[in-house]
């Protein structure tokens, strides 16, 4: 069944997600701070909105895909925000990665206007967003999650209800810990292989066929070796996500030493001006520690 869907935030992840919703036959109105992304989706059949409020006026379901908690709060509750025009009984699905506490607070504010909320952060990166194969971890009540699932099937291959509001963000924090740790270890392994003169292509083939195989090894190792750090997911954003994970661990009085070390490595890159690079650039921090560049030199 075609739905009236609003989509706010047309970045690396949001633009392809909105495109899949258009392709699925939904009526989609989109808003983004930069007009070029809106124009591209209008060419595919979406309707361009001039403000978050206009998106809310035209939609029964609004999806946000934004960098951080303040961005989501501003779009929903700020001047000309979504809530000023969204009808009671509507649904907001936040696919951003924000703090669990912020998700709970947003849900409470929306409930005052009889608007349902699901925190639905995603995993799969820009590759998964383009392919429509994202994994979505959803927090909310059963009815709201069922409504969200009907919408998000257009962008995802895996959709799981993980608990009440805020639970989706906690699972996403765990996801980001695992991804960062995997990237760091892939970077260390490549540095060792390169430094010791091993045939890296042969090594990656056999590693990919055993227990060391992972999506990170498959997707990020080639980027590290070719020095292709064009951002799919920026180090700045991964640092923000790791800080969310550290805060959650602190509240639960849990020690997460590996996450702490990796967060510091990411921060070192940000301090050096590399925060806008893809998170596969984490290998650069490891190289600086060892003096062993892990890239393919031109023949």
| CA dihedral sign of residues 47, 137, 94, 239 | negative
Question: Which bin fits 189, alpha (ψ -120 to 50), beta or left (φ > 0)?
Answer: alpha
Q: Are 23 and 48 in contact (CB under 8 A)?
A: no
172 is catalytic: yes
Q: Are 76 and 110 in contact (CB under 8 A)?
A: yes
Total count of residues recorded for the chain: 299
Catalytic residue among 172, 220, 240, 284: 172
CB contact burial 184-198 (16+ within 10 A = b; e otherwise): bbbbbbbbebbeeee
As a whole number of angstroms, the distance between CA 71 and CA 95 comes to 12
Using a 10 angstrom Cβ sphere, with 0-12 exposed, 13-18 middle and 19 or more buried, the burial of residue 276 is middle
Active site residue ranges: 172
């Amino acid at each position: 069944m075609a739905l009236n869907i609003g989509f706010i935030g047309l970045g690396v992840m949001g633009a392809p997600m909105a495109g899949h919703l258009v392709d699925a036959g939904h009526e989609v109105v989109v808003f983004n701070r930069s007009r070029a992304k809106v124009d591209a989706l209008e060419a595919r059949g979406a309707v361009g909105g001039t403000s978050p409020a206009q998106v809310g006026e035209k939609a029964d379901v609004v999806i946000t895909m934004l960098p951080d908690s303040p961005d989501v709060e501003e779009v929903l509750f700020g001047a000309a925000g979504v809530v000023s025009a969204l009808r009671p009984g509507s649904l907001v699905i936040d696919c951003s990665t924000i703090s669990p506490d912020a998700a709970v607070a947003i849900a409470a504010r929306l409930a005052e206007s009889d608007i349902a909320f699901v925190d639905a952060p995603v995993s799969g990166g820009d590759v998964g967003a383009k392919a429509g194969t994202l994994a979505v971890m959803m927090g909310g009540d059963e009815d709201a999650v069922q409504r969200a699932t009907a919408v998000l099937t257009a962008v995802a291959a895996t959709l799981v209800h993980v608990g009440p509001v805020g639970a989706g963000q906690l699972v996403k924090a765990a996801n980001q810990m695992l991804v960062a740790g995997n990237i760091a270890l892939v970077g260390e392994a490549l540095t060792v292989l390169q430094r010791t003169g091993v045939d890296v292509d042969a090594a990656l083939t056999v590693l990919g066929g055993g227990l060391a195989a992972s999506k990170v090894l498959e997707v990020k190792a080639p980027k590290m070796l070719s020095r292709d750090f064009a951002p799919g997911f920026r180090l700045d954003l991964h640092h923000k996500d790791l800080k969310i994970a550290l805060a959650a661990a602190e509240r639960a009085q849990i020690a997460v030493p590996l996450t702490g070390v990796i967060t510091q490595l990411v921060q070192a890159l940000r301090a050096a001006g590399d925060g806008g690079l893809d998170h596969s650039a984490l290998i650069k921090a490891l190289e600086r520690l060892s003096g062993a560049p892990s890239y393919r030199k031109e023949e």
